[in-house]
Amino acid sequence: MSSRLSLQRFFFGKNGQLTFNTIFKMTDLSTFDPNSVGNPSNNIFGLPFEEDDAQLIILPIPWEVTVSYNAGTARAPEHIFTASLQVDLFDPDVKDGWKKGFYMRPTDKKILMKSDYLRKEAELYIKYIADGDIVGDNKFMCKTLKEINEGSIFLNNWVYEQTIELLNKGKLVALLGGDHSTPLGFFKAIAEKHGDFGILQIDAHCDLRVAYEGFNYSHASVMYNALEEIPQLTKLVQVGVRDYCEEEFEYISNSNFRIVTYFDKDIKERQYEGQQWKQLVDEIVNHLPEKVFISFDIDGLDPKLCPHTGTPVQGGFETEQIFYLFKKVLQSGRKLIGFDLNEVGVSHDEWDENVGARCLFKLCNLLTASNS
């Protein structure tokens, strides 16, 4: 067991009563061996931190109600937790970053149960509209759509409440999905805490559809909803997009450069014609504002790395290409203020979860390094 030390600052609150808050807590790492096998009795990555001790809190969101192709991501956080025990703690880019403390909260089983129930409803609804039937002609389908949209609003509010509470405690926060609809409430908490900010989105899709399949808060609509509902979101820079519709392309074109999209096809063609990834990365980073949130849909990677993600698309990146981009964001002097990692699939051999765990570890290290 780890022992903890804490200092407390006493002060008089607005009501004149004496109170205190904890300003420092530290886990005793003197008996922890970072070179040893991961201990499943500890937390994420086998680290011996508790929530109060950790600088960075990972919030798992077991939700995949509106996924339109493959399911499974709702259970990804638990599988990533298991796979994380295989991740070595030495990161040459951020040495000893883990010592800042990473802690993953337990999965909220009530959220998972709600997701499972609404997912079954969504599957029936999606099949109904796929057959060309009219929703308005079927009272049951109208009720189903209403339930799903209400459930998504509930989830957005729950995520906001969880994340704003942690941010107000001075914690760094990361969100682990689930599908890509999950971080909208977190975006709103980030906006409330930090003011103007930008999102760097790694994704095979734009996620700019309007109420895709009738779901107001679809995984395919998360960036559209963020742009429409969060005025503090001043810039969205998308990298790796290779599957999108004409409506989304027009929305980007009419955004007055609030959205800058680096399509996978254009990136590849520029590289074929001699441009280096460094040149492209420098250009991408220059579009970002001072405060940056990373939204990482793992399907932005080459699908050989994430074959069981919800909506895989050929093309995409190697992990080191994306890690290089993230590193250059930090080196530019910009500040990371949070991240989400979403759409990690669940596979029989835990390959997807293994890749997801390593992406999570890199993001955790970079977020703490940016806030040291």
Place of tokens 């579009």: 287
E strand map for 119-182: 172-177
**DSSP H or E stretch at residue 357:** helix 351-370
**Are 334 and 291 in contact, with CB atoms under 8 Å apart?**
yes
Tens of pLDDT, residues 66-97:
987 778 899 999 999 999 999 999 999 999 99
**Are 107 and 78 in contact, with CB atoms under 8 Å apart?**
yes
**What is residue 336's predicted lDDT score, i.e. its pLDDT?**
98
Tens of pLDDT, residues 28-46:
898 999 999 889 999 999 9
CA nearest neighbour of 298 among 245, 354, 218:
354
Least confident of 18-32, 126-140, 345-359: 18-32
Contacts for 138 with CB less than 8 Å, ≥ 6 apart: 128
Residue 11 clears pLDDT 90, i.e. is over it: no
Residue 226 clears pLDDT 70, i.e. is over it: yes
Tens of pLDDT, residues 290-308:
999 999 999 999 999 999 9
Question: Cα(22)–Cα(73) distance, rounded to whole angstroms?
Answer: 36
**What is residue 13's predicted lDDT score, i.e. its pLDDT?**
46
The confidence band for 174, taking pLDDT boundaries of 50, 70 and 90, is very high
The confidence band for 4, taking pLDDT boundaries of 50, 70 and 90, is very low
The confidence band for 25, taking pLDDT boundaries of 50, 70 and 90, is low
Question: DSSP string of 269-323?
Answer: HHHHTT--HHHHHHHHHHTS-SEEEEEEEGGGB-TTS-TTSSS--S--B-HHHHH
pTM: 0.91
Q: What kind of fold does domain 44-370 have according to CATH?
A: Arginase; Chain A (3.40.800)
Type of residue at 269: E
**Are 197 and 190 in contact, with CB atoms under 8 Å apart?**
yes
Question: Cα(223)–Cα(69) distance, rounded to whole angstroms?
Answer: 19
- CA 145 from centroid of its chain's CA atoms: 26
User: Interior CA angle at 241 toward 208 and 225, to 5°?
Assistant: 15
CA nearest neighbour of 220 among 338, 119, 69:
69
Question: DSSP string of 23-73?
Answer: EEEEE--TT--TTS---TTSSGGG----TTT-SEEEEEE---TT-SS---G
The residue extents of the domains of the chain are 44-370
**302 φ, ψ (degrees, to nearest 5):** -55, 130
Tens of pLDDT, residues 310-348:
899 999 999 999 999 999 999 999 999 999 999 999 988
> Half-sphere exposure of residue 218, counting CA atoms within 13 Å on the CB side?
22
Question: Cα(316)–Cα(320) distance, rounded to whole angstroms?
Answer: 12
**What is residue 2's predicted lDDT score, i.e. its pLDDT?**
44
**Are 215 and 121 in contact, with CB atoms under 8 Å apart?**
no
Place of tokens 């057959």: 131
Identify which has the larger pLDDT, 347 or 358: 358
Tokens of residue 249, six digits: 């392309």
Q: From the DSSP assignment, how many helices (H) and strands (E) are in the chain?
A: 10, 10
